[in-house]
Structure 1
Amino acid sequence: MTARPPSRDPRPGFVPATFLPGSRRAGIPPAPAGPRGVRPAPRPEEDERARLLRGAHHDPHALLGAHPTAGGIAIRALRPHARSVTVVAEGLRAALLPEGDGFFAGLLPIGDVPAYRLHVVYEDAEVETEDPYRFLPALGELDLHLIGEGRHEELWRALGAVPMTHQGVAGTRFTVWAPNALGVRVAGDFNYWDGTAHPMRSLGATGVWELFVPGLGEGELYKFDLTRPDGSHTLRADPMARRTEAPPATASVVHASHHVWRDGAWMARRGARPVHTAPFSVYEVHLPSWRPGLGYRQLADQLPAYVADLGFTHVELLPVAEHPFGGSWGYQVTGFYAPTARLGTPDDFKYLVDALHRAGIGVLVDWVPAHFPRDDWALAEFDGRPLYEPADPLRAAHPDWGTLEFDYGRKEVRNFLVANAVYWCEEYHVDGLRVDAVASMLYLDYSRGPGQWSPNERGGRENLDAVAFLQEMNATVYRRCPGVVTVAEESTAWDGVTRATHHEGPGGFGGLGFGLKWNMGWMHDSLEYMAREPVHRKYHHGTMTFAMVYAYSENYVLPISHDEVVHGKRSLVSKMPGDWWQQRADHRAFLGFMWAHPGKQLLFMGQEFAQGAEWSEGHGPDWWLLDPSYAAEADHRGVRDLVRDLNAVYRATPALWERDTRPDGFSWVVGDAAEDNVLAFLRFADDGPPLLAVSNFSPVVRHAYRLGVPGGHAVWEECLNTDAVRYGGGGVADPDPLKARPVRQHGQPASVELTLPPLATVWLRPV
């Protein structure tokens, strides 16, 4: 902890400072006893003093601290409200002379600058502390060069608050990028939120300000007091803070990690198989509401076990970066480098990730580089002028969310975001970033009417700066973090979202470089189909087959996310038509279809047990529906059992994931049986048996339904049936394995005849 102005009475009988007679310190000649040994120091220009006092000086170290001069060493300190300031060193105790306005200075008749401390007396107490202005800059030239170039891939190690030992003294280095500020000061609990005594120095043309404050350590609250170009002040949270106060409090917190990772085995193997050719089944979670009231460490005791039991390969966490308004679910971020303090400390979040990894579960986090809120203590006009946002107010304002967009054309802003992506992967060991609202970044006219946007330099509507940023982010993450996957939530037909950045497409752009993309078209089409009464589905059969027209244009995830089960959209099961039995049957049949369809799967919490109510961040899933004492427990526990079995069969069946991104991994058996509401297709593996998936989206049993199958497999058996009694279904099934007959059907050399249960999906594989 730093020395701070105390609140207790000074010691009785305190004696004014003196030189200690008889000092023989090298370079320090003996000085006469008493304050007569200190002479007035050369006084700086009044304008210099005034600028320092109003927080508008770019180089406070030129006025404060120790400086050789004619006649000795001049030492000056700025300690508002102090009664006296004394320089203390080995063999030296010299009282500085008051200069007014909190300045104390003196010319000491010594030859060299000593390693001194300041003894400060206040009206009611006294403290002894190191002088921050006797230290050289604690940020290196290479760091400054990389920041200036916008290429510092470990920016969090250079900017923000970093506890460290500097010139043999423990303290905290504060650095902040604020190129438009006239001056910057550090304010916090340690100086009663008055930064007058802690002005920072500007480190050249980079726009970075720095101050090493000795004695400060972990847990200290702080903000930056910036003097705007118009001379006014603004108190801002640190954009690079690794820890924050819990909202609604907004201070940044000095942090150093002490977590010892135990996921070495996971990290060593996670990149062994490309995600495109591996099982990838995702459980999407809003941490604050999954089990309301639990923090990161309590979640670590429950979430990994639950997800592992259901067989998901990954969890995806709605944004965990700090955000002021909980109702935004984390999608309006103010602390891009800090896990939300609502649930614990940064090390607590690492503990949760560690626990998930040790349970064999990958961790994706939602990442939001598309916009940020306008809170006047955060990033908006950070140093008095647009900095993180574009200067054009029309261009800066996000038309949908009342937020501000980032200026992707500014190299320092791009660096802030690229380094942030790397930070979550390296510091928190996350296995993937799902990038939110990519479409809003890519188009200059996104949600803007005529006259509200300007074309790019090519005359088009593409945001070329955003394209370059996304390419740089993806390329950097994939280069630095083996095994990590980036996933785009991109809702348009932008060409090449998951194409490599060096491969140019028809639009003249390189690929964006994402690993996967959410298939929003599949989601909208399939939910629209499922919401219709079965009698009408035959007229909309194409909405369930259309996704295969473009299925291999990108590497897709099939998302049933939080966005589809909130704000009046109803839960997944409640979207289905008919009575409760039909709704649950449709729900199960749809999940069976989804897990068999090409593409990875994502399911939001609560939908794995057919929760009837739509999601609310205020209370989370209705876990009571799974209570054994609940009369209709089979309704919900049965669906959860189905999800567990879907994941188990899926993970054990390479045909369902090995060729996910290749056309030769899929073949329609029957895709045009609109009158029957039946869809049937085959999935293939590189080295393993195929899988036949059949969905009957009509409420009638279809007997003796003949389907073509590949030759060479004499017997086929059910490996999953969503109508099974244990899932809450009616139990319609073929009792025995099905013998393939050499009867050509649907372009296949053989065929099987089976019974299709109503509103159900059946998976079959050869014995």
Structure 2
Amino acid sequence: MDNVPIPVDPAVLDAVAQGSYYAPHSVLGAHLGDGSVTVRTVHHLADSVEVVTPGLTVAATHERGGVWVAVLPLGEVPDYRLRVTYGDQATLLDDPYRFLPTLGEMDTYLISEGRHEQLWTVLGAHVKRYTGPMGDVNGVAFAVWAPNARAVRVVGDFNFWDGTATSMRSLGVSGVWEIFVPGVHVGARYKFEIQGPGGNWFQKADPLARATEVPPSTASVVTDRFHEWGDDAWMEARPGRTPHTRPMSVYEVHVGSWRQGLGYRGLAEELIPYLRETGFTHVEFMPVAEHPFGGSWGYQVTSYYAPTARYGTPDDFRWLIDQLHQAGIGVILDWVPAHFPKDDWALARFDGTPLYEDPDPLRGEHPDWGTYVFNFGRREVRNFLVANALYWLEDFHVDGLRVDAVASMLYLDYSRKDGQWRPNQYGGRENLEAIQFLQEANATAYRRDPGIVMVAEESTAWPGVTAPTSGGGLGFGMKWNMGWMNDTLRYIREDPVNRRWHHGELTFSLVYAFSENYVLPISHDEVVHGKGSLYAKMPGDDWQKLANMRVLYAYQWSHPGKQLLFMGQEFGQQQEWAESYSLDWWLLDEDRHRGLQRLVSRLNQVYRSEPALWDDDYTGFEWIDASDGDHNVISYLRKGPDADGQQRVLVCVANFAGTPHEGYRVGLPFGGEWEEILNSDDESFGGSGVVNVGPLLAEPVTWNGRPASVELRVPPLGAVWLAPRAH
């Protein structure tokens, strides 16, 4: 029996001792030799080390630079532990280098191919348990993609931020580094210590971390999922839903400033009753992925897989979504795959080279935001982002993603001057790799998670944003209608006496309203950066401002497309939004502001109950009169099925003039009795009470090319919705 340890080159031992060897597991741990087992371990400054097995204990000898070695007279590798003594303190430890890789060959193959759709299950930090003759072993498997690194170590509060004894092994051409560290538990803070190609060491947060410290601290945090979902009914029904043919009224929320100090769980307690009261079908959260600077509102992300720790744990965020689903409310999450900040502890130059960012300086940096642009042409980077989308949809049950800044991804010359951008291979300005990424992300999301919705915030006239990828489209389900928003807000800011000269801005959206599947957004972007609140944009005194908002919302809710309103605008928030302050909830003590909120609740109530407003925008809209600019009035039909499958028609009349129109005749598609189902000027909404009471009998008077018509009281800065009267 050979008691001589398996020999190792002294230079390799030195590198292992320093934690700078790319294959530490080939030296450390237990290795079967000719009739014996050699065990090596790194313990700097230890007084003694012993290898303890179920049947014997063998003293190790110090070999070189903190490396200890023992030879076990055994014919196979046993289960073992290490008894390490410093002074008079002896500790029984497990050996990180006795474990097989926690990623399989299929995992590394899929990562190399950029096709691992559940990347978060293999990279990052994962709690694991192993069993053996000497008992269970609990710890954490760490894995990170750093293909250009010379060496990688995991450091944390479990090893006093000294990674020389927890250096990771390279898993070959996949570029993945891995180690299982026994004794690490949920809550442990960690980072990866990377030796770049130039030999310098630096620490990085884990790109696949699923939890982080509270900013401004930057360490990643080991976590696990303990939440037990209670939204089974919602998730079982989700694949059968088609958002395009369902009501979708979205309330956009910034978690930290809706009401400050609530956190994820506190928000659930207060937001859900509020959403039920106001009637929104969905809530859209501005980005919650971890971000170092609160003033970025979440749009400069450093940890794409971790909900920000500012408001609680990942399970707290799951609980919020779970409670929303159980209340019948869908959840959309803002997602930012276009760019990321340059913080040196995060994704930037991750392994000492441009890894996640495009290495071309004319493509890899965003001039407006001072951020890096992802390298969409690299398959592993696309995989990182596609899997991230799936992570939120699947691990957090999110029902849709609103993709931020799509235009900045599509165009190589976005916000760049001549000489600051490089054309694609065909000489064009289109970012072909970003297009491919968006198509892949959308197609994969819809394939894996039917019933969800991918929404593009895209501000240009790029064709086919919501066309299927099979036909060359980008494959989004919906697109924000920025044209409608810009034109409408420009129109509504005009004093009513001037609006006749801007009538085209009000009606132009219907020229292209059916070219894409649209969401009509009045978002946070319109109430920041000196733009003032929506209330502040409105002309006139307080009553007129709120009346303008009421008629705007009635127009928005009846216009083809889905609805989105930023928090606070439903009650007439007066101050410009700031992420560091709560909304002006005290305004609801004033009846006029409470009235605006009542109107939004009523709009949502009618909207949800009337398929004519959402079932099929293309076939469900007809102008009655788009040309009455002299009166600042537009009128149109909305059509859809009723409960019996028969066609139901609504008539919408919106008056943007500051004066009422008495006896205003409107053409109707048929005669009979009609009734007013909504009037934004109702006194309960804070209006002046110019309403139409009782049944309205349509006369056989041809008007607006229609066979029947009715004379209405059309309120100032008000909208009227009519429906055939039920008998």
How much does 1:135 deviate?
1.2
In the TM superposition, what are the counterparts of 1:286-435 in structure 2 within 5 Å? 286-435=254-403
Note if contact 2:633-2:655 (Cα within 8 Å) is conserved in structure 1: yes
In the TM superposition, what are the counterparts of 1:149-548 in structure 2 within 5 Å? 149-166=113-130, 168=132, 169-503=137-471, 510-548=472-510
Return the letter of the residue paired with 1:753: E
Distance 2:29 2:211 in 1: 31
**Could you tell me which residue of structure 1 aligns to residue 103 of structure 2?**
139
How much does 1:81 deviate?
2.7
**Could you tell me which residue of structure 1 aligns to residue 660 of structure 2?**
701
How much does 1:734 deviate?
1.9
**Could you tell me which residue of structure 1 aligns to residue 573 of structure 2?**
611
* Structure 1 residues 296 and 92: alpha-carbon distance in aligned structure 2, compared to 1, 3 A threshold: same
Q: Percent identity?
A: 59
How much does 1:689 deviate?
1.6
Return the letter of the residue paired with 1:428: F
**Could you tell me which residue of structure 2 aligns to residue 691 of structure 1?**
650
Q: Report the secondary structure of 1:138's partner residue.
A: coil
Note if contact 1:654-1:688 (Cα within 8 Å) is conserved in structure 2: no
Return the letter of the residue paired with 1:669: I
Return the letter of the residue paired with 2:273: A
In the TM superposition, what are the counterparts of 1:576-595 in structure 2 within 5 Å? 576-595=538-557
User: Could you tell me which of 495, 506, 531 is aligned with 1:569?
Assistant: 531
Return the letter of the residue paired with 1:714: G
**Could you tell me which residue of structure 2 aligns to residue 647 of structure 1?**
604
Distance 1:430 1:42 in 2: 53
Note if contact 2:632-2:655 (Cα within 8 Å) is conserved in structure 1: yes
User: Could you tell me which of 103, 107, 112 is aligned with 1:148?
Assistant: 112
How much does 1:120 deviate?
0.9
Q: Is the deviation greater in 597-606 or in 268-277? A: 268-277
Note if contact 1:296-1:343 (Cα within 8 Å) is conserved in structure 2: yes
Residue 76 (structure 2) pairs with residue 112 (structure 1)? yes
How much does 1:749 deviate?
1.0
Return the letter of the residue paired with 1:363: V
Note if contact 2:304-2:388 (Cα within 8 Å) is conserved in structure 1: yes
Q: Once the two structures are superposed, what CA deviation does each residue of 1:494-550 show, in whole Å capped at 9, x if it has no partner?
A: 0000000001xxxxxx10000000000000000000000111111110001000000
In the TM superposition, what are the counterparts of 1:684-763 in structure 2 within 5 Å? 684-686=639-641, 687-711=646-670, 713-763=671-721
In the TM superposition, what are the counterparts of 1:53-68 in structure 2 within 5 Å? 53-68=17-32
Return the letter of the residue paired with 1:641: R
Distance 1:566 1:496 in 2: 30
How much does 1:714 deviate?
0.5
Q: Once the two structures are superposed, what CA deviation does each residue of 1:64-102 show, in whole Å capped at 9, x if it has no partner?
A: 111123462211111123222110111211111112421
Give the TM-score, by structure 1 length. 0.92
**Could you tell me which residue of structure 2 aligns to residue 77 of structure 1?**
41
Distance 2:106 2:462 in 1: 38
How much does 1:700 deviate?
0.8
Give the TM-score, by structure 2 length. 0.97
How much does 1:39 deviate?
5.7
Return the letter of the residue paired with 2:476: F
Distance 2:504 2:88 in 1: 81
Residue 22 (structure 2) pairs with residue 45 (structure 1)? no
Distance 1:657 1:487 in 2: 17
How much does 1:123 deviate?
3.5
User: Could you tell me which of 639, 662, 676 is aligned with 2:631?
Assistant: 676
Note if contact 1:55-1:182 (Cα within 8 Å) is conserved in structure 2: no
Residue 508 (structure 2) pairs with residue 559 (structure 1)? no
Return the letter of the residue paired with 2:319: Y
Distance 2:343 2:184 in 1: 28
How much does 1:743 deviate?
1.1
Q: Report the secondary structure of 2:373's partner residue.
A: coil
Q: Is the deviation greater in 101-110 or in 149-158? A: 101-110
* Structure 1 residues 273 and 68: alpha-carbon distance in aligned structure 2, compared to 1, 3 A threshold: closer
Q: Once the two structures are superposed, what CA deviation does each residue of 1:247-295 show, in whole Å capped at 9, x if it has no partner?
A: 1111111111011100011112233331111100000000111110011
Q: Report the secondary structure of 1:235's partner residue.
A: strand
Distance 1:726 1:108 in 2: 87
Distance 1:70 1:89 in 2: 19
Distance 2:30 2:636 in 1: 80
Q: Once the two structures are superposed, what CA deviation does each residue of 1:11-49 show, in whole Å capped at 9, x if it has no partner?
A: xxxxxxxxxxxxxxxxxx9xxxxxxxx966355222212
Note if contact 1:135-1:167 (Cα within 8 Å) is conserved in structure 2: no
How much does 1:304 deviate?
1.0
Taking only aligned residues, the RMSD between alpha carbons, in angstroms, comes to 1.3
Note if contact 1:40-1:105 (Cα within 8 Å) is conserved in structure 2: no
Return the letter of the residue paired with 1:109: P
